[in-house]
Amino acid sequence: MSSKPEPWSLVVAGGGPAGFMAAIAAAEAGQQGVLVLESTPEPLGKVLISGGGRCNVTHACWDPRELVGYYPRGSRALRGPFSRFATGDAVAWFDEHGLALVEEADGRMFPRANRSTAVIQCLRQAAQRAGVVLRTSEALQGAAPSPEGGFSLQLRSGGSLRAERLVLATGSHPSGRRLAQGLGHGLEAPVPSLFTLAFKPNPLLPLAGVVMDPVDLELETSGQRFRQSGPVLITHWGLSGPATLRLTAFAARALHQSGYRGQLRVDWSGGRSLAQLEELFSQCRQEQVRKQLSNARPWPALSRRLWQHLLDQQGVEPDRRWADLGKRQQQGLIESLRRSTFAVAGRGPFGEEFVTAGGVALGEVNLATMESRRVPGLYLVGELLDVDGVTGGFNFQHCWSSGWLAGQAIAAASSPT
């Protein structure tokens, strides 16, 4: 049996969303001999479990200038890539490949079938039609540029390949970072992004399950301040929900530096001014004169459980009538609504998302083609790069964009001039 390396025009290491998009885009643009290596038995594992099994494919943010604002790492650098392939392009691409996406009220876009397996089926069928070869349970172990051009690749199984071009689409897995470093790339140290905040002890424990929207959050950690607004979910260990996840995404590095310690100020009133809250309380004192405080909240959207918690916190009897609410008690309640403060003592016990901040520095990649500036013929896409978005489909969108750009560039570079 010959030990000569098996030749391929393009090898994609990683069968996730970015890797599949790169392989399909290259093959559909005319690239022959495309191989995808996936280390697990089934590809597209993150797609399968994302969005509670529904897969939040992208977000209905159509302007690239606005879209970049949802990426704590990447931001301005992504203006170029998104000007060539952004949300509208991704929606059109999936539609052309038989997968319709629908927009929900909050802007998230899901497959009309409402299940992630529809996205997987779409990508796998597109790859198969384009002639892409997929090998599962096969990982890239080592890669080195060949003197005659291309790459010599070693597989975990012991086999070897030769590739004219190589795409690293290994996500946040340490093996991909190791491969990138071995090929001469520097790395921004990976740290968790998109996680919940834990309070120890948790004074909100009795309120677990309460959702409030909107809520203003302000976090102070490592000498920096971060702000976000939106829905929050009170949990057994602290705070979660979209606003909390966005906050931790932007504060990821500062929180890591502080050991996940800090002070969190929560404005339950959704940004109402002191004068606005005083006016609401004044109206209640006039219009709800005989009603007990526990039965008549200052505004209907204020959670009943949270309001009763704040009454208890301020030592106000829940059966006290609005007419009998003292001025000092009113001031205390308003202050609690505007400025409840909690000591952040760590991350929640598990993450709602699976994103890291860190990876190959963007300055080392030509973002028009996703080709390495250090190693010709090497392309880096997806979460391996130092790019991460907030929750809501933005991380997948970067995978589609970077993968498509890489695939197009590879096919163009392989075409005879």
* Per-residue pLDDT tens over the stretch 117-172: 999 999 999 999 999 999 999 999 999 999 999 999 999 999 999 999 999 999 98
- Which CATH number belongs to the domain containing residue 121 in this structure? 3.50.50.60
pTM exceeds cut of 0.85: yes
Amino acid identity of 361? A
Average pLDDT score over residue span 84-95: 98
Residue 152 vs residues 20, 73, 135, 174, 305: alpha-carbon distances, Å = 22, 32, 18, 20, 62
Model confidence band, residue 1 (pLDDT cutoffs 50, 70, 90): very low
How far apart CA 390 and CA 195 sit, in angstroms, is: 10
State which of 352, 374, 390 marks the end of a domain.
352
24 and 140, same domain (yes or no): yes
168 and 202, same domain (yes or no): no
Number of domains in the chain: 2
* Contact of 320 with 291, CB cutoff 8 Å: no
How far apart CA 226 and CA 394 sit, in angstroms, is: 20
341 and 376, same domain (yes or no): no
175 found inside a domain: yes
Q: Six-digit token pair at 407?
A: 């695939």
65 found inside a domain: yes
H helix or E strand, kind and range, residue 61: none
290 and 363, same domain (yes or no): no
Asked whether the bond before 206 is cis by omega within 30 degrees of 0, the reply is no
**pLDDT tens-digit profile of 247-291?**
999 999 999 999 999 999 999 999 999 999 999 999 999 999 999
Segments forming the whole domain that contains residue 337: 195-352
370 found inside a domain: yes
State which of 329, 352, 375 marks the end of a domain.
352
The pLDDT of residue 225 is above 90: yes
176 and 208, same domain (yes or no): no
226 found inside a domain: yes
Mean pLDDT of the chain: 95
170 and 266, same domain (yes or no): no
101 and 181, same domain (yes or no): yes
* Contact of 354 with 197, CB cutoff 8 Å: no
* Contact of 102 with 112, CB cutoff 8 Å: yes
What integer pLDDT is reported at residue 354 of this predicted model?
58
Closest CA relative to residue 136, chosen from 265, 44, 55: 44
**Percentage of residues in the chain with pLDDT exceeding 90?**
94
1 found inside a domain: no
387 and 291, same domain (yes or no): no
114 and 200, same domain (yes or no): no
**pLDDT tens-digit profile of 240-254?**
999 999 999 999 999
What integer pLDDT is reported at residue 391 of this predicted model?
87
The pLDDT of residue 353 is above 60: no
State which of 336, 352, 368 marks the end of a domain.
352
Strand, coil or helix: what is 200? coil
How far apart CA 282 and CA 272 sit, in angstroms, is: 15
